[in-house]
Structure 1
């Protein structure tokens, strides 16, 4: 039941269980709002322990309508501090679910007019959500990134050469730098092929994201940014194999991130007419 002047904010789809409900009791949503399950029906009875098929449900909380209606979201999406807070809180809720149950993370700022509209959206995608949760059961997302370090692109030191004019010296330095950088890129290609071969033995799915740029990478250049869906019993050998491979590529930094909730492998959030879309 919504409080007056509020909208229903949904964080994720999962299967409602008693133990998960107990765990989420200590987790709060945006604005410190308590979390609640929104199953397909308004029945609030907790599922019996050992139930073979738990109830599909949104994990939701109330948010102020004045902050999450369509016009307010357009303003807030230009406020980096607001975005950081909402994104962090959304992620914390999703990760708390993922630690205890299969979860489909939903897009940040997915809101509905009320619980009834949210349940309608859940019912409309029930079959697809159930299939996706089954596919993700006992799987976790890991990221693998390859970075070129600034030092790797510099030309190696050479023995002193005979004096050259300024123009010739400049061209020689540029040629040496280009050759050094080409060698590092070839090394990155070989590393990417090695990672792909490792993933073929351990991962069930891969998503290739665009390389990161700007403040996210600092002085390094990100040239590979992949996400892998890894069965839980393959996580340790996958990480170990990547770490072993990274030792063969001294001019690169190869980073494994995770475990994460399966953001890269979840279906897009449902979008009924009353769910405001964030601006592009």
Structure 2
């Protein structure tokens, strides 16, 4: 007998410990494509250690063949990413959350529950590590090396002989190169200090590739360090202050601290849902 295909798929935003606070929060959230957000728990295990936060989404809009084209639509991609992140960030304010990648989809509740059952111990372990900790981003920028000012009139008069435009240009470029190299040395020192701050406050660390390209261009300079730290909540203010101090005496660089964020950099990766039976 042919089994009819369900009209919806199960979209999973995150794993989280079941908690009474979610009863009031989840009904207030709008998920991807404006879908309601709910909690998925194994039957009879309402007090279990891990649950999925989910939405039901139309199969016609989220099937694998449709998504291949959807991911080429930048407007759709941005709207979906924002909706996904809004749900995760709202959860992170109230409870411990383990974000899953955008468009984590299962055929139905049964498929999602199988994945939850198979990964329950690993998810619970990761959630325990994230408990009472929050992610912060730390970036270091190398400031642009401005060309040196032209010599003052008195200095120019003291020159024993006129300097050709070509030689003056080469001197200026050499001085600019030396300044930039000094800024890079300052950035390395800042990175070493920031790593020491992370160790001092017991923060886990993930290093991301520095941001580059036209979208990353900044008036503050070139991004040379782009790290994430998972910081104990009780140490957050002291951590941020210490990171800022790491660059205070280094005029060639700028240190930026962002957050608090949901712990995307420290999230687990579930098996590909398409491989689930």
TM over 0.5, shorter chain:
yes
1:74-101 CA deviation, whole Å, 9 max, x = no partner? Answer: 1111111111111111111011111111
Q: Report whether the alignment pairs 1:119 with 2:113.
A: yes
What are the residue-to-residue correspondences of 1:118-157 with 2, within 5 Å?
118-150=112-144, 153-157=145-149
1:54: how far off? 4.7
2:35 aligned partner: 33
Q: In the alignment, is the contact (CA less than 8 A) between 2:104 and 2:273 conserved in 1? A: no
Task: Show structure 2 runs of 5+ residues with no match.
Answer: none
What are the residue-to-residue correspondences of 1:214-233 with 2, within 5 Å?
214=213, 215-219=215-219, 220-233=221-234
1:204 aligned partner: 203
Partner Cα distance (1:61, 1:272) in 2? 15
What are the residue-to-residue correspondences of 1:72-221 with 2, within 5 Å?
72-150=66-144, 153-157=145-149, 159-160=151-152, 161=156, 162=159, 163-214=162-213, 215-219=215-219, 220-221=221-222
1:10-58 CA deviation, whole Å, 9 max, x = no partner? Answer: 00000112222211221110121111111123x5x9x5xxxxx654111
Q: In the alignment, is the contact (CA less than 8 A) between 1:38 and 1:58 conserved in 2? A: yes
Partner Cα distance (1:203, 1:92) in 2? 28
Q: Name the CA shift for 1:64/1:149 in 2 (closer, same or farther; >3 Å).
A: farther
Partner Cα distance (1:250, 1:78) in 2? 42
Q: Report whether the alignment pairs 1:57 with 2:51.
A: yes
Task: Show structure 1 runs of 5+ residues with no match.
Answer: 48-52, 276-280
Q: In the alignment, is the contact (CA less than 8 A) between 1:10 and 1:110 conserved in 2? A: yes
SS in 1 for 2:112: helix
SS in 1 for 2:231: strand
Q: In the alignment, is the contact (CA less than 8 A) between 1:144 and 1:256 conserved in 2? A: yes
Partner Cα distance (1:271, 1:207) in 2? 23
TM-score (norm 2): 0.89
SS in 2 for 1:99: helix
TM-score (norm 1): 0.88
Q: In the alignment, is the contact (CA less than 8 A) between 1:204 and 1:230 conserved in 2? A: yes
SS in 2 for 1:109: strand
Q: Report whether the alignment pairs 1:261 with 2:267.
A: no
How many pairs does the alignment contain?
263
